[in-house]
């Protein structure tokens, strides 16, 4: 080992110091540490980030760079194809060890295993860790060794597996490298919108970074857990954790969320215990999305259920798609959701289901159009959860809602936003002449959707 040869920690979707096995292992290796974040928008098959995600990433990297800097470690920023840039940096630093936490998309896995093989052949030590999921996707299988396609038995199998490991504490000290490494300036990546700057609503709604992820978890467990089971479907209430973008970027680990929730559950009232179990089940859905993605890597672009390839989507109605995107369909709950999304980069889960059903069934627009729009506009846009949930609503996915379950947006609004509070928050002109008439007839379009679905049934 060369004197003072550094270890490289490659940060990807784990922008945190707490419970970061790669960082902890690098620290325990006794080598000085250099950290890198690489903006890779060129490796084949790696999906470029959407606009809202780019905004989030900018803030999150600023926070990570500051907290690593406080411990004396430099966060180096580079841009390019990982397969070129990581080995180049290893060589430039003379690094003898590289550490990272795993990713689960097929293209990313291919990139990572190529880099690992190349570096190892050069005598560099490379170690990867489980950090983003509670259960590694390949460890949970059915009795016959295949992946699960239904959530309930999947989650049962997870819960009867060895429990998730305890989270690792944030390192109190780290040793940085004595040399300063050339780095891009974050601003030059232009992750934040400028002309126009549409991110004002995002700034108001969110504070990216690890500290705020921990604060949200704390607030959720102390203030919201007891009501979670009853109120999580009510979009006007702030009844859910708001953790999804923080989990998406790995600013908090699911192990930390699991452990803290479990701790509260132990001494809790029965309402809190019910809330905790329900909340952990939601984390289970996140696990399931990755489990399905691992087995079906093109989840965001191909029907998981191939019989859906026979679905007779009509030619794309661009006008209807634009009305949906801009929240002017004349269906109040749909417009409220789409405007919330545009303003804040997020939308309540119940409303996500309603707008997705409306797009795919009442407008007969292919779920992939909706998936793409969400990918670009959601701060929590996630390669597993987005494709999975779109397909779940469309009926083409794993454990999906049957296609013939067409949400009636008016009934959904009555049930989950009975006083119209959520609608008024997002559609101030609702109920006035300025609000548009519905662009479709809900009953007629429902019938047309069911007729189209008959084609899939015949093909199945």
Active-site residues, by number, are: 282, 285, 313, 349, 367, 390
Of the candidates 56, 311, 390, 416, which one interacts with ligand FAD according to CB under 6 A? 390
CB of 376 to ligand FAD, least distance (A): 11
Of the candidates 61, 158, 225, 385, which one interacts with ligand FAD according to CB under 6 A? 385
Of the candidates 286, 305, 343, 368, which one interacts with ligand FAD according to CB under 6 A? 286
**CA gap 10, 22 in Å, rounded:** 8
Residues 6 or more apart whose CB falls under 8 angstroms from that of 445 comprise 361, 362, 363, 364
**CA gap 235, 232 in Å, rounded:** 8
CB of 80 to ligand FAD, least distance (A): 26
Touching ligand FAD, residues 203-232 (CB under 6 A): 232
Q: Are 358 and 334 in contact (CB under 8 A)?
A: yes
- Asked if 285 interacts with ligand FAD (CB under 6 A), we say yes
Please report which helix (H) or strand (E) contains residue 39, including its range: strand 33-39
CB of 373 to ligand FAD, least distance (A): 10
Of the candidates 247, 276, 331, 406, which one interacts with ligand FAD according to CB under 6 A? 247
Residues 6 or more apart whose CB falls under 8 angstroms from that of 10 comprise 22, 35, 36, 38, 86, 98, 99, 100
CB of 354 to ligand FAD, least distance (A): 9
Tokens coding 176: 């940085």
User: Residues 311-350: x/- map of binding to ligand FAD (CB under 6 A)?
Assistant: --------------------------------------x-
192 versus 231: smaller Cβ distance to ligand FAD? 231
E strands in 318-404 = none
Residues 6 or more apart whose CB falls under 8 angstroms from that of 328 comprise 335, 436
- Asked if 243 interacts with ligand FAD (CB under 6 A), we say yes
CB of 381 to ligand FAD, least distance (A): 5
Give the distance, in angstroms, between the CA of residue 321 and the centroid of all CA atoms in the same chain. Answer: 24
27 versus 240: smaller Cβ distance to ligand FAD? 240
- Asked if 389 interacts with ligand FAD (CB under 6 A), we say yes
User: Residues 353-372: x/- map of binding to ligand FAD (CB under 6 A)?
Assistant: x--x----------------
Tokens coding 387: 């494709």
Using CA atoms, how far residue 8 sits from 26, 29, 112, 134, 354, in Å, is 8, 11, 14, 25, 45
Handedness of CA 87, 89, 93, 99 (dihedral sign): negative
Give the residues lining the site for ligand FAD (CB under 6 A): 232, 240-244, 247-248, 282-283, 285-286, 289, 349, 352-353, 356, 374, 378, 380-382, 385-386, 389-390, 393
């Amino acid at each position: 080992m060369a004197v003072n040869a550094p270890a490289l920690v490659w940060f990807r979707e784990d922008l945190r110091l707490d419970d970061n096995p790669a960082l902890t292992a690098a620290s325990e290796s006794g080598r000085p540490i250099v950290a890198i974040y690489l903006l890779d928008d060129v490796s084949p098959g790696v999906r470029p980030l959407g606009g809202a995600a780019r905004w989030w990433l900018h803030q999150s990297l600023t926070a990570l760079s500051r907290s690593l800097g406080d411990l004396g470690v430099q966060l180096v920023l580079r841009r390019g194809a990982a397969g070129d840039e990581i080995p180049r940096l290893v060589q430039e630093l003379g690094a003898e060890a590289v550490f990272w936490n795993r990713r689960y998309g097929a293209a990313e896995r291919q990139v990572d295993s190529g880099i690992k093989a190349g570096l190892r052949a050069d005598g560099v030590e490379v170690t990867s860790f489980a950090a983003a999921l509670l259960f590694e996707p390949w460890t949970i299988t059915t009795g016959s060794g295949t992946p699960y396609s239904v959530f309930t038995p999947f989650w049962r199998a997870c819960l009867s597996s060895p429990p998730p490991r305890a989270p690792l504490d944030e390192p109190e000290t780290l040793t940085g490298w004595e040399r300063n490494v050339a780095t891009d300036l974050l601003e030059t990546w232009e992750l934040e919108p400028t002309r126009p700057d549409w991110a004002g609503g995002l700034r108001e709604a969110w504070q990216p970074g690890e500290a705020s992820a921990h604060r949200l978890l704390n607030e959720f467990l102390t203030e919201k857990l007891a009501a979670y089971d009853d109120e999580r479907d009510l979009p006007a209430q702030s009844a859910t954790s708001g953790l999804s973008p923080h989990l998406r970027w790995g600013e908090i680990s699911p192990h930390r969320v699991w452990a803290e929730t479990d701790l509260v559950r132990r001494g809790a009232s029965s309402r809190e215990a019910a809330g905790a179990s329900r909340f952990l089940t939601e984390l289970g859905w996140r696990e399931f999305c990755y489990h399905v993605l691992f087995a079906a890597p093109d989840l965001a672009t191909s029907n998981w259920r191939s019989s859906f390839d026979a679905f007779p989507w009509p030619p794309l109605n661009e006008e209807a798609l634009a009305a949906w995107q801009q929240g002017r369909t004349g269906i109040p709950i749909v417009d409220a959701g789409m405007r919330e999304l545009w303003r804040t980069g997020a939308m309540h889960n119940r409303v996500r289901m309603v707008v997705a059903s409306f797009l795919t069934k009442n407008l007969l627009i292919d779920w992939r159009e909706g998936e793409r729009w969400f990918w670009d506009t959601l701060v929590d846009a996630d390669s597993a959860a987005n494709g999975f949930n779109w397909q779940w609503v469309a009926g083409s996915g794993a454990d999906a809602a049957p296609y013939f379950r067409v949400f009636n947006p008016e009934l959904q609004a009555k049930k989950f936003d009975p006083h119209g509070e959520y609608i008024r928050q997002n559609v101030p002109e609702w109920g006035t002449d300025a609000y548009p008439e519905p662009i479709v007839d809900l009953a007629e379009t429902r019938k047309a959707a069911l007729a189209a679905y008959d084609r899939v049934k015949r093909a199945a």
